[in-house]
Amino acid sequence: MSRIVFWILLIGLVVFAIRAKLKGLSARQQPPLDAQPRRQPPPAEIETMTQCAHCGIHFPASEAVHADGHDYCSPGHVRLPPR
Ligand SMILES: [Zn+2]
């Protein structure tokens, strides 16, 4: 009786292995559904950089302190002369 169970399990295992192999081959032949190149999402808003007229450091323009036609990194540098 145990021999019959052994052979049934062995045959089932072989059939399962063959099916898995065939499934793997057919999946490799078909191109994946999302094979088309995807468009990159738009980059996050790019911040414009500016340079401090006194110390020369680069920083986001949105944080600039504008005075006398120059950009400064901080209110303290506004009082100091441009380089
Ligand atoms: Zn500065």
Using a cut of 0.85, tell me whether the model's pTM lies above it.
no
pLDDT tens digits along 3-21: 888 788 878 888 888 888 8
Kindly state whether residue 42 falls inside one of the protein's structural domains.
no
pLDDT for res 33: 62
- What is the 45 CA–ligand 1 centroid distance (Å)? 24
- What is the 46 CA–ligand 1 centroid distance (Å)? 22
Kindly state whether residue 21 falls inside one of the protein's structural domains.
yes
Residue positions counted in the chain: 83
- What is the 74 CA–ligand 1 centroid distance (Å)? 6
pLDDT for res 66: 94
- What is the 9 CA–ligand 1 centroid distance (Å)? 78
Kindly state whether residue 74 falls inside one of the protein's structural domains.
yes
Mean pLDDT of the chain: 84
Compute the distance between CA of residue 19 and CA of residue 60 in angstroms, rounded to an integer.
60
Non-local (6+) Cβ contacts of 82 within 8 A are 53, 54, 70
Task: Please say if the pLDDT value at position 32 is more than 70.
Answer: no
Compute the distance between CA of residue 25 and CA of residue 35 in angstroms, rounded to an integer.
18
Cβ atoms of 83 and 54 within 8 Å: the answer is yes
The tally of domains found in the chain comes to 2
79 φ/ψ angles, rounded to the nearest 5 degrees: -75, -20
Kindly state whether residue 44 falls inside one of the protein's structural domains.
no
Q: What angle do CA 59, 65, 71 make, to 5 degrees?
A: 65
Task: Please say if the pLDDT value at position 24 is more than 90.
Answer: no
Average pLDDT over residues 51-80: 94
Kindly state whether residue 13 falls inside one of the protein's structural domains.
yes
- What is the 30 CA–ligand 1 centroid distance (Å)? 59
- What is the 71 CA–ligand 1 centroid distance (Å)? 9
pLDDT for res 61: 95
Kindly state whether residue 43 falls inside one of the protein's structural domains.
no
Kindly state whether residue 57 falls inside one of the protein's structural domains.
yes
Kindly state whether residue 55 falls inside one of the protein's structural domains.
yes
Domain boundaries, position 11: 1-31
